[in-house]
Amino acid sequence: MKYLTKEWYELCQQTHLHFGLRVHNGANKLDENLFLRLYKRKEKADVKQERELYNLDPRYMLEHNGQVLTRVDKAFGEEEVTEEDQIVFHMPPEERAHIEKLIAEYDVRPPFDEKKCKEEYKESMESSYQYKAEHLPKEIVEQIADIRVFTLGYCTREMLQQLKKQSAHNWRRVEHTSKEFREVMMAQNIPDEIHSQVQYHDCTITELLTGDEVVIRFDTRGGFTNINKLTLVAPEIVKQDGGIVGSYWLYQELYRIDNGYELHVLFGGENMPELIVRCADILVEVE
């Protein structure tokens, strides 16, 4: 990757360092009692939310079945609404069957397990503490009195101002690179239909075959396309990191070269693998 690199992606994650933070006067020192008090408050809110979701009766999804729907232009217009302007919504049988299955499962569900919910919240928070400590700028972490309190969403006023300033600086750097990237891509003079053939953001790589052709197959359920096979014709592999299969497609750069195209792909997953292939043509299909 020339522009949308791992470093650029990581910088993108540092453009909202201040989001969700509130000023707390006690955040300037290590205070176990303060941490426990704030933790219990957040834990209680999490348990309440999870309980509400657990007890959400799926019958509500049947409420719109049989409703009378009116054309938007008629509903908000001044003309009289006639029967021709209305339809009765009837839920497809397969959708109703799915909802009824959810209702049956809901009716026999065990009581909400508050203990398990608290254990899962604890595991999630401990993972978050570690993530913050490892991914925040080192100079920021060194100024935080208690990374646990910070992760719960509290910091000093000075820290909040510093994070806002750093976030804005990082955003400008991200946008500068993004602008350069867009300009370079426009200069490639590659038709939109070719660009559309390499749009697999968030699709998971299920297979990568190399040889006379490079063939990539996808699980598209997490993405924005139903095209699940990409073929690069007459390839020359410039770079191929390990760990691509099982990762997900993040970003791509596509360049025009004398005999075809050069495709750069950055994947999400462990170590964020990368693939660069020169090829004569790009083919896509739905298997």
Q: Is residue 53 part of a domain?
A: no
Nearest partner of 116 among 51, 177, 67, judged by Cα:
51
Q: Is residue 279 part of a domain?
A: yes
Q: Is residue 184 part of a domain?
A: no
How buried is 123 (Cβ within 10 angstroms: 0-12 exposed, 13-18 middle, 19+ buried)? Answer: exposed
CA angle 193, 221, 199 (to 5 degrees): 20
Q: Identify whether the C-beta of residue 174 lies closer than 8 Å to the C-beta of residue 12.
A: yes
Q: Which domain holds residue 204?
A: 192-285
- Cα 33 to Cα 65, 82, 145, 269: the distances in Å are 52, 66, 14, 37
* Integer-rounded Cα radius of gyration of the chain: 26
pTM, two decimals, is: 0.76
The number of distinct structural domains making up the chain is 1
Residue in this structure with the two tokens 């049989």, named with its chain if needed: 66
Q: Is residue 224 part of a domain?
A: yes
Distance CA 208, CA 199 (A): 17
Q: Is residue 37 part of a domain?
A: no
- At 217 the three-state DSSP class reads strand
Helices (H) and strands (E) in the chain, counts: 9, 12
* Residue 139 C-beta-side C-alpha neighbours within 13 Å: 3
Nearest partner of 241 among 210, 220, 218, judged by Cα:
210
Q: Is residue 9 part of a domain?
A: no
Nearest partner of 228 among 214, 213, 207, judged by Cα:
207
pLDDT tens series, the chain, 287 aa: 999 999 999 999 999 999 999 999 999 999 999 999 999 999 999 999 999 999 999 999 988 888 877 776 666 666 776 777 777 788 888 999 999 999 999 999 999 999 999 999 999 999 999 999 998 989 999 999 999 999 999 999 999 999 999 999 999 999 999 999 999 999 998 999 999 999 999 999 999 999 999 999 999 998 999 999 999 999 999 999 999 999 999 999 999 999 999 999 999 998 999 999 999 999 999 98
Q: Is the dihedral of CA 241, 202, 185, 191 positive or negative?
A: positive
Q: Is residue 19 part of a domain?
A: no
Q: Is residue 249 part of a domain?
A: yes
